[in-house]
Structure 1
Amino acid sequence: MNRAALLKLAGQVLRLPTAPYHEHAVRDFVTGYCRQLGLPVASDKAGNLFIRYRHRVAGAPVVFVAHMDHPGFEALGPNRAQFLGGVPLELLKGARIRFGSVRANVRRVHRDKQLDIVADGPLRAGEPGMWDLPAFAVRGDRLQAVAIDDVLGVAAVLAALTDLVRANVPAHVWAVFTRAEEVGFPGAVTVARSGKIPRRALVVSVEMSKERPWARIGHGPVVRVGDRLSMFDPAATWHLETAARAGRIRLQRALMDGGTCEASAFAAFGYRVGGLCLPLGNYHNIGPGTRPRRENVSVADLNRLVGLIVQGARQWRGFGSLRQSLRRRVWQIYRRAPRRWGKL
């Protein structure tokens, strides 16, 4: 997918309202988009989405997972709201919120992240809200939006599926789009517990992760070796790095410990997992001075991420032999090592 088409798709998805348990607009877009590609779309009892692409490849799939929510607000009534997601209370003080066409100001913040608000129009309980900031913009290589984490991950997986379908790439790929990751992974845990994903699959979390000094915006997507909670499968890391080399894709490899992602949730239920992410500026909209700001990523990094997902799908057929090649590489290093055990 070229840059213009990718940014058009990203803009369509990133302009949609979303919050934990209020992903309906994103979910409807994903469903319609994938059906236009001719891909089957299934759902589970929690509203997670499953999209399957299979062309001339047998065996278990490689599964790319992204979540459809972003930290956001839920109206509890005409003068009351709640924030859903992990941010410091300081960020909410005096904040401006947009509930569709209705705007509101926060007057008081309670410890449980319930908010007293003043709205300029009628509000219904259950209405989702987002920060009152410009929804989407591209300036040079920087893409800025209110809800990049992880809605842009959804867009990246959709773009990769588009490239796979249009090129008839031999691959077996699932895309799983989950709900409510930002409040404790209930969507991902529901999927993991259900066993819908074959146990021999590789589950790759596609995320946006807080920029770190060792993983910088503009230096390529990150093959994530772990998150704040756990370390991922080394064979998965080897597979993704091999895919990047095959596609000549610039990347970074790092422990992204700014948060915990859905790979850890799947690993907890026995799945083999890996991780991909983009370094993210203003993570969870936390800007300088703890004031709300749009998140931002590199457009070049996004383009490389899509290419890496496609290459990860292309190379999946060789994952079994790849694991053997990892063992052979270690064996080569071992054979060259001097042996001077001496007496113990």
Structure 2
Amino acid sequence: MRGMRSPPREHWALPPRTHDALKADERARLLELVRDVLSRPTAPYAEDLQVRGVLAFAAARPGIRARLDAHGNAILEWKGKRRRAPLAYSAHLDHPGVELVGRVGRVGRAPVARLHGGVRATALVDAPVRFFDTRDGRAIATARVRTVRERDLELTDVRGELAPGAPGMWDLTPGRVRGTRLFARVCDDLLGAVAILFVLDRLWRERSDAGLIGVFTRAEETGFVGCLGLLRTRALRRDTRVIGLECSPQRASARPGRGAVVRVGDAASVFDPELSDALRSEE
């Protein structure tokens, strides 16, 4: 059995300062959070390591309460002292990935992985994949996509030992800082999760009166599975105001580096006119 391909190189360093919004120690803590979260593999239905990381974050900060709902979504809360309708930030812990589902063919019985998430399968031919053990995040095999049939990817150049049901991610760097930019195999939506954790950490350190709920959902990439489950089980109070943090594509009217972007709706409706207007007034 051939050894796995060497993992892509990582480089973690504070980028040049471009604003004064964060103090030096806050920038260092934020980078450490980014590295910690992005280093853990994830995929739809295989977010176990990310969920454990979120729970460990809360356990290290007495006063931040943590719970799991019936669908495995993690919910953290810094209660504060203000008595008003709860405010929640949400992010999803998965990212498009694959799952080993079987083998095809008579000669060599090529392994097949099923694609989960909003990626065009035909664009993945010859893409490198790295498979993981969800118990500890250890890489167990590498492969390349040879052919694609609908959502099934036939694999080749398999190195290591594949296990049934093993999740896989594109074999890209977990994180590499170059200048003022971060390149990573997952930005959507783990950086949203990092932002929530950073704000909760700041509230906890300051013993802030302001309360905040962090909602970390699963399997968003396959149809908002975790989010819809959370809504059905009413895991949040009915009057909770929820702001979703997302990594959306760049638009002509919303470019990176020009401040926060507030997405006010989609093709179906405006999400919440009152809350959207309140966010705009805070700019």
TM-score, normalised to structure 1, is 0.68
Q: Does 1:23 align with 2:55?
A: no
Q: Does 1:235 align with 2:235?
A: no
Amino acid at match of 1:116: E
Q: Does 1:96 align with 2:121?
A: no
What's the CA shift for 1:83? 0.9
* 1:121–1:229 Cα change, 3 Å: farther
Q: Which of 70, 80, 90 pairs up with 1:65?
A: 90
Q: Deviations over 1:207-251 (max 9, x none)?
A: 11111111112112211112344322121112223334xxxxxxx
Q: Does 1:41 align with 2:66?
A: yes
Amino acid at match of 1:40: R
Q: Does 1:172 align with 2:211?
A: yes
**Equivalence for 2:107:** none
Q: How many residues align?
A: 243
Q: Deviations over 1:184-207 (max 9, x none)?
A: 001000111112211111111111
CA distance in 2 between partners of 1:126 and 1:228 (Å): 35
CA distance in 1 between partners of 2:61 and 2:277 (Å): 30
CA distance in 1 between partners of 2:145 and 2:268 (Å): 33
**Equivalence for 2:135:** none
**Equivalence for 1:324:** none
What's the CA shift for 1:146? 0.4
Q: Does 1:187 align with 2:236?
A: no
Question: Residue 209 of structure 1: SS of its match in structure 2?
Answer: coil
CA distance in 1 between partners of 2:272 and 2:215 (Å): 19
CA distance in 2 between partners of 1:81 and 1:56 (Å): 49
TM-score, normalised to structure 2, is 0.82
**Equivalence for 2:36:** 12
Q: Does 1:114 align with 2:152?
A: yes
Question: Residue 147 of structure 1: SS of its match in structure 2?
Answer: coil
* Percent of aligned positions that are identical: 40
In structure 2, the gaps of 5 or more residues are 1-21, 104-110, 132-138
Query: In the alignment, is the contact (CA less than 8 A) between 1:76 and 1:125 conserved in 2?
Result: yes
Query: In the alignment, is the contact (CA less than 8 A) between 1:77 and 1:124 conserved in 2?
Result: no
**Equivalence for 2:101:** 76
CA distance in 1 between partners of 2:266 and 2:198 (Å): 25
**Equivalence for 2:198:** 159
In structure 1, the gaps of 5 or more residues are 245-344
Q: 1 or 2 for the larger relative contact order (CA 8 Å, sep ≥6)?
A: 2
What's the CA shift for 1:77? 3.8
Which one has a larger percent helix, Structure 1 or Structure 2? Answer: 1
Query: In the alignment, is the contact (CA less than 8 A) between 2:140 and 2:161 conserved in 1?
Result: no
Q: Which runs of structure 2 are paired with 1:1-344 in the superposition (5 Å)?
A: 2-38=26-62, 39-77=64-102, 79-99=111-131, 100-111=139-150, 113-118=151-156, 119-244=158-283
CA distance in 1 between partners of 2:53 and 2:267 (Å): 31
